[in-house]
Structure 1
Amino acid sequence: MQSAEHPSRAAEGHERSAGPRPRFDTLTVPKASDVLAAEVRERILSGELTEGTALPSERQLVEQTGLSRATVREALRILEVEKLLRIRPGRGGGAFVHRPNRDSLANTVQLVIRGQRIRLEALHETREAIEPTCAALAAKRRTDEDLADLDAANRDLVEAGDDIPRFLRANIRWHNAVAKTSDNELLIGFMSALSQAIYAATDIEQFMDSEIREITARAHTKITDAIREQDSPAAMRRMARHVCGFAHAVAHIDRRDGVELSESAED
């Protein structure tokens, strides 16, 4: 009579036939400074820690978290680099909360543009995509103060005459004023960065003759009028024509002869 297989041997045979054992990837344990920085960052971004709030001193943070002074300092440096904290040295100093604002966004976008060497063509494409929307929103939300800013910027542009640097500064000021009037923080930040990047990347003084300056001033006036009249479709349409015409002209700087910044008779 054949004896039954021993239970332990049967189990071993089952284990051997179960196939290869699973593998586990190497685990990366976050640094303590990163963990502390992440907690403080979340409390800032969630609004729990408001602008200007003073964090506990380094000594207090060491006592409260159980971390070393070096780890606490590293976490604070991380947040300072991210511009979420301002570190003030000396008596009465310390780490103070700085919540991101439109300038933070503009600076970050500018760093990306420069760091990634974004093509001028891509900058113009982005501007053509968002600035007509800025104009449409501006027409819905403009205040008397906004209109005064737009009029003042365009007046400065006209009065610049042959002073090209002044003309270009007034031009940027007017476009940023349109974005500001949109009352959309993201659009304001993006337009601030784009305006500066396009200005810095373009040798536009060479074709800013009197005719082009006059066309630019008239385009600004038409767009401002649409914003004043709260005509969003007209503001969007006129701004789209204006920025597309400028991009087309800039694309042909190297072969300027025969190229014009066109101005449609429509509107």
Structure 2
Amino acid sequence: MSTDRAAAELPRLSLAEAVAKRIEARIAEEALPAGHRLGTRDSLRREFDVAAATFNETVRLLAARGTVSVRPGVKGGIFVASPPPLVRLGRKMLELTGDSVSVSDCLVVRDALEPLLAREAMRHRTDADIADLRRLAGGLAAARGSADPFGRLAANWALHRRIAEITPNKVLQHTYISLLEFVENRLRGVTPDEPDEEGPHTGGGSSPDGVAVHRELVEAIAGGDPRRLSAAVAAHAALTASRRGGA
């Protein structure tokens, strides 16, 4: 494609994307079910007041995403498609808001994922990853002297978030980090009863034993020894359970 032709198509592509986003927003806001008829290609084109070529590109974008399906014939048109499983999962996760989700439930799932993330980190870590993990583990010791309990929490979570970022498994990575962010946001709205002690959900990250446990976890990931990693993960799980009363 020539440079002039590519430049000429940019406005049309941008407009097609804008119309696609408006249709996606309508489907989401009105909770339109799979199989709902949005209209014909021509009626929708006229509704959004765009050229045929632009709307054809909109339909192509939406069909490629699995958002709509196109059916020919007199009773045909453009219909809401049944979304792929991962899209349905994402929508279900978005429904878990407010009082329907507890911090404790998130922590149970988070804790179950951490051994898998540690094994993934050991398999895929690079020298740069290890350098980052060691730096963040060192930050836990520095956070011990902080008067801000959420500063201590942040230092702990930064290390675990960085461990999660090593895995190439994006489903695992994003699930774990989303749980971590949910817990972080909820706990920021809570005033600790004992600000000088570790909070119930920190895993003891900046306590003396917590610092040692996290440093060993990092070194086990760096060392590549599965038995050492299993021991480090078990020590971390025990530390987390002790800070949550065995929960």
Gaps of 5+ in 1: 1-52, 85-103, 254-267
Q: 2:209 aligns with which of 215, 220, 223?
A: 215
Q: For the structure 1 residues 108 and 66, does the alpha-carbon distance in structure 2 shift closer, same or farther, using more than 3 Å as the test? A: closer
Q: Which of 214, 236, 239 is residue 242 of structure 1 equivalent to?
A: 236
- When residues 57 and 142 of structure 1 are mapped into structure 2, their CA distance, relative to the original with a 3 A threshold, is closer
Give the structure-2-normalised TM-score: 0.55
Distance 1:180 1:117, change over 3 A: same
Equivalent in the alignment of 2:14: 54
Partner of 1:168: 153
CA distance in 2, matches of 1:170, 1:132: 20
| Superposed CA offset, 1:33-86 (max 9, x none) | xxxxxxxxxxxxxxxxxxxx6353779x9xx9312357559x98xx8xx9x9xx
Letter in structure 2 aligned against 1:146: D
TM normalised by structure 1 equals 0.52
Paired positions, count: 173
Q: Which has the larger radius of gyration?
A: 1
Kindly indicate whether the alpha-carbon contact (under 8 Å) linking 1:58 and 1:69 is maintained by their aligned counterparts in 2: no
Residues 65/185 of structure 1: CA separation in 2 closer, same or farther (3 Å cut): same
Query: Could you give the per-residue CA deviations for residues 186-225 of structure 1, whole angstroms, max 9, x where no partner exists?
Result: 1211121121223344459533189962222111111111
Q: How far off its partner does 1:120 sit?
A: 2.9
Q: Which amino acid counterpart does residue 166 of structure 1 have in structure 2?
A: G
Q: Counterparts of 2:212 and 2:156 in 1: how far apart (Å)?
A: 12
Alignment of 1:148-163 (within 5 A): 148-163=131-146
Question: What is the match of residue 46 of structure 1?
Answer: none
Looking at structure 2, the residues matched to 239 and 190 of structure 1 have their Cα atoms a distance apart, in angstroms, of 19
What residue number does 1:226 align with? 220
Per the alignment, do residues 152 and 57 of structure 1 end up closer, same or farther by CA in structure 2, a change over 3 Å counting? closer
- The one-character-per-residue Cα deviations of 1:79-108 (angstroms, maximum 9, x if unpaired) are 8xx9x9xxxxxxxxxxxxxxxxxxx9xx97
What is the deviation of 1:146?
0.6
Q: Which amino acid aligns with 1:171?
A: N
CA distance in 2, matches of 1:204, 1:128: 23
Equivalent residues in 2 for 1:159-198, closer than 5 Å: 159-163=142-146, 164-198=149-183
Amino acid corresponding to residue 114 of structure 1 in structure 2: T
Determine helix, strand or coil for the equivalent of 1:154: helix
After superposition, the CA RMSD in angstroms is: 4.1
Q: Secondary structure at the match of 1:68?
A: helix
